[in-house]
Amino acid sequence: MRDDADTGAVRTAGDGAVLRITLDRPARRNSLSHRMIDELIAILTRAATDDALRVIHLTGAGSDFCSGADWASTNSADRKPRPGNLVRRVPLQANRVVELVATIQLPVVCTVRGWAVGLGANLALAADFTVAATDANFWEPFVDRGFSPDSGSTWLLPRLAGVARAKRMLMLGEKVTGAEAADWGLIHHAAPPDEIDAAAEELVARLATGPTVAIGLAKAAIGHSALATLPQSMAHELASLELSCRTDDFKEGLAAFRARRAPRFQGR
């Protein structure tokens, strides 16, 4: 799916069990127009019910991952938004796309080079595994622009990096390099720029051949635990275990264990 450079586009490529999604607006550092956000939501929604898929890989075209929502082109400098505009619009756009990345029962791998800003940073933080260049930059510039954080940043950052570091990014607007983000636990891994593609592809390949149902249930259980007690989490685990034990991959895992060989999971 391509469009003119003014609104950008979200490109998809099917690669067997892998859905590759590219934010394609390099002239604007892949800032997300309303149209791009709507496209990304539609793509992720379809992916959630595609039984052939086993992993999603999210990247940005060019030298940056995503510089956030395109506020410059979607807000007029001489006209205030009508009251309640943000309350109506954001839950269905920025918030929805972050929620989909975080909760879809497919593992999401994100590759970050260059800038990951605002909504772009939060998409990377919501992914299950983010591989970033050591010199990439994660930035939550909300207060620098005079407004409060959104798109899940106040939930994601404290849980990933702790309250003190979240305040540094969200209240002081501090930029964090890819190397620092990995050290803080914000992302899965940081590597030199010429190594991140190989590192991400290794992850994608591993997840694409894994027990997809069990991986999805594990992701859902981790998400559930953020707002649950220990007994509630263990009850959720048991329900997930009941489901995963009914899959063909569970049977294959046991057979491989008995035969002392590597399992050949089919994602079912």
Helices 94-103 and 119-126: crossing angle in degrees, nearest 10, is 20
Residue 93 pLDDT: 76
Q: Which domains does the chain have, with CATH numbers?
A: 9-208 (3.90.226.10), 212-259 (1.10.12)
Residue 102 pLDDT: 96
Give the gyration radius of the chain's Cα atoms: 19
Distance, CA of 217 to CA of 228 (rounded, Å): 16
Q: What are the residues whose beta carbons fall under 8 Å from the beta carbon of 264, sequence distance 6 or more?
A: 252, 256
Residue 128 pLDDT: 97
Point out the least confidently predicted range of 3-7, 139-143, 159-163: 3-7
Distance, CA of 129 to CA of 147 (rounded, Å): 29
pTM attached to this predicted model: 0.89
Distance, CA of 83 to CA of 92 (rounded, Å): 17
Distance, CA of 248 to CA of 49 (rounded, Å): 19
Are the CB atoms for 148 and 117 separated by under 8 Å?
no
The predicted-structure confidence for 155-198, as pLDDT tens digits, reads as follows 999 999 999 999 999 999 999 999 999 999 999 999 999 999 99
With tokens 């994608």, the residue in question is 204
Tell how strand 55-60 and strand 18-24 pair up. parallel
Distance, CA of 90 to CA of 70 (rounded, Å): 13
Distance, CA of 216 to CA of 214 (rounded, Å): 5
Q: Which residue has the higher pLDDT, 73 or 174?
A: 174
The predicted-structure confidence for 85-127, as pLDDT tens digits, reads as follows 554 455 457 899 999 999 999 999 999 999 999 999 999 999 9
Closest CA to 110 of 62, 59, 172: 59
State how far the alpha carbon of 118 is from the alpha carbons of 64, 75, 145, 151, 157, in Å. 13, 16, 11, 8, 12
Q: Which residue has the higher pLDDT, 72 or 144?
A: 144
